[in-house]
Amino acid sequence: MRVLVGECGARGTGAGPGGGTGFVGGAVTQLLRSRGHEVTHLSRRPGPGRISWDELARCGLPPCEAVLNVAGENVLNPFRRWDDSFRREVVASRVETTKALAKAIAEADRPPRAWVVVTGVGYYRPSPTAKYTEESPGGDFDFFSRLVTAWEAAAKIPGDRTRQVVVRSGVVLGRAGGLLSQLLWPFWLGLGGPVGTGLQPFPWIHARDAAGLLCHALETEGVHGVLNGVSPASPATCNADFARALGVALGRPAWLPLPAWTVRGVLGPERAVLVLEGQRVEPRRTLESGYRFQFPELPAALRDALS
């Protein structure tokens, strides 16, 4: 199967890398190729095995059987101030890239069989008690919920010529990137611990399961609609549980709390919500679709991610 992977923003959107050759994109690319699939990246950067966003706009969708978009500027980029300019980049790197790919698919003479987009569990309202499945409402209470709503709306293609799947991902755990890579040094130095109260839900998924679920969505004909990309144990995990498990996996103490006011001061109040609040998300339709998690429990997931 030929798979086109959207890797970064279209020219002029200001979107940064983070897709096909980024953390999750790199993992899913490796897995797809190991399964015998041919992968081409849609990118602003030239190189073998790539086409450009300009070429997509000019020539339309290249021949392929499936399209996957995992593009998106890193919202928690510690080197970027949360201002209007960065907000526009965050939106463009998700909504505009998705809209461009959806348009190319809709206009293709021979559209792909599958179209998969990775969004986020930020669609659901943060709550310490509510549990959400793929059918739960969400979408219009803060910047990130509205972002995911617009993102998923941009992905919709009229008709049924192409099977469409949205994967709402939680925090992806892997040493190669994402949150875990940013936490390793503080925890190694004995500075790790819960954030804020530590009671906020922590929706998570191992990087190999994130890649496995995306391959499952691309390859399995009966899979369609929304899938929650979180571990089955995720609804029972809070931030303090994660901190303790990470400390155990590293053999380091994990008792030093990070006050909420510090997080708000560094990230800004709007962005700090992603760290100080969370959602209890269940992968009900994901399990019903036939996907079997390699790492359903947090301790084993962290041991593998750190090995």
User: Which CATH architecture best describes the domain 2-173+205-230+280-306?
Assistant: 3-Layer(aba) Sandwich (3.40)
Q: Among candidates 178, 184, 198, which has minimal Cα distance to 256?
A: 198
Burial of 187 (0-12, 13-18, 19+ CB in 10 A): buried
φ/ψ (deg, to 5) at 265: -70, -35
Helices 97-107, 143-155: inter-axial angle, 10-degree rounding: 20
Collect all residues with Cβ–Cβ distance below 8 Å to 98 and sequence separation of at least 6. Answer: 6, 69, 71, 117, 151, 154, 155
Cβ-contact 270, 142 below 8 angstroms? yes
Q: How far is CA 95 from CA 116, 152, 169, in A?
A: 14, 8, 16
The set of residues, in sequence order, having a beta carbon less than 8 Å from that of 242 and lying 6+ positions away, is 202, 204, 298
- The predicted pLDDT at position 9 comes to 43
Residue 153 CB neighbour total at 10 angstroms: 13
Q: Which residues of the chain, if any, have pLDDT below 50? A: 9-20
Model confidence pLDDT, tens digit, residues 145-201: 999 999 999 999 999 999 999 999 999 999 888 889 889 999 999 999 999 999 999
What pLDDT score does 181 carry? 87
In angstroms, the CA 22 to CA 74 distance is: 11
Query: Which of 72, 58, 143 has its CA nearest to residue 103?
Result: 58
What is d(CA 281, CA 202) in angstroms, rounded to the nearest whole number?
9
Radius of gyration of the chain measured on its C-alpha atoms: 19
Q: Say which residues have a Cβ less than 8 Å from residue 80's Cβ, sequence separation at least 6.
A: 86
Cα distance between residue 140 and residue 149, in whole Å: 8
pLDDT at residue 44, as a whole number: 76
pLDDT for the residue 21: 52
Rounded to the nearest 10 degrees, how much is the dihedral formed by the CA atoms of 138, 225, 212, 231?
30
Report the pLDDT value the prediction gives residue 141, as an integer from 0 to 100: 86
Percentage with pLDDT > 70 across the chain: 95
> Roughly what angle, to the nearest 10 degrees, separates helices 269-276 and 260-267?
130
- Identify the pLDDT of residue 78: 76
- Inter-axis angle of helices 23-34 and 207-219, to 10 degrees? 50
Q: According to the model, what pLDDT value does residue 8 have?
A: 59
